[in-house]
């Protein structure tokens, strides 16, 4: 069984969409894959309760308990590794990961970003797209590399920017696309790795 570990920091709406897709589309039967654990750097993350309600193991590794980014990432990696992950999914995990952590899971660490990368890496993507006069915005699923919001693109979805859009209204429509795109991109990754194994 290929284990998927999802890292979150908050409400976990993308994580919940992935969990629903895994159940609905029978990932265990189709790809020999399951969501093995949901791990957060914040004990109060709402997504942990959602994961527990689906019978998924959860863990908390509070970043504030560690003196450095390196120490936190090392502790986090130990918890992740306990689940022997085939894929590590960042779903609203609000920490910049160290090169050592990224290297440890290179090729099996994915993230979602609310812009059409390489445009608008980093924060405040929706306001930046509006300020730049963009006619379209969107969302990107990509493999994680040591360069922030770069790495091979796995999937993208385009969202039109409407004339009266605010950052909040655009973010809402982008998030709806995230919930569709992320599970689909992961399923495609699983299908691809399954075909290579065969």
Handedness of CA 171, 14, 112, 195 (dihedral sign): negative
| Strand spans (E) along 96-150 | 109-113, 136-143
Runs of H (alpha helix) within the chain: 13-24, 27-31, 47-53, 69-81, 99-104, 125-131, 167-197
Q: Is 113 a catalytic residue?
A: yes
Residues 6+ away with beta carbon under 8 Å from 145: 102, 106, 151
Closest CA to 4 of 75, 97, 91, 101: 91
Q: Which of 54, 63, 83, 113 is catalytic?
A: 113
Residues 6+ away with beta carbon under 8 Å from 81: none
Closest CA to 86 of 107, 103, 100: 107
Structure tokens belonging to residue 31:
């790809």
Based on the number of CB atoms within 10 Å of its own CB, is 88 exposed (0-12), middle (13-18) or buried (19 or more)?
A: buried
Kindly list the catalytic residues: 113
């Amino acid at each position: 069984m290929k284990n998927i570990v999802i890292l979150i920091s908050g409400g976990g709406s993308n994580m919940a969409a992935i969990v629903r897709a895994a159940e609905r589309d029978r990932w265990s039967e189709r790809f020999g894959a399951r969501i093995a654990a949901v791990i957060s750097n914040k004990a109060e993350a709402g997504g942990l309760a959602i994961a527990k309600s689906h019978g998924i193991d959860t863990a908390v590794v509070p970043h504030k308990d560690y003196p450095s980014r390196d120490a936190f990432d090392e502790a986090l990696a130990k918890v992740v590794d306990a689940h022997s992950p085939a894929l590590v999914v960042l779903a609203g995990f609000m920490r910049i990961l160290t090169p050592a952590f990224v290297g440890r899971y290179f090729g099996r660490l994915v993230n979602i970003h609310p812009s059409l990368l390489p445009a608008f890496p980093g924060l405040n993507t929706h306001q930046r797209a509006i300020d730049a006069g963009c006619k379209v915005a969107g969302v990107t699923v990509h493999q994680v590399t040591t360069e922030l919001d770069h790495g091979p693109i796995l999937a993208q979805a385009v969202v039109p920017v409407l004339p009266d859009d605010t950052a909040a209204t655009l973010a809402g429509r982008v998030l709806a696309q995230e919930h569709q795109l992320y599970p689909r991109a992961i399923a495609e990754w699983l299908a691809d790795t399954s075909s290579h194994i065969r």
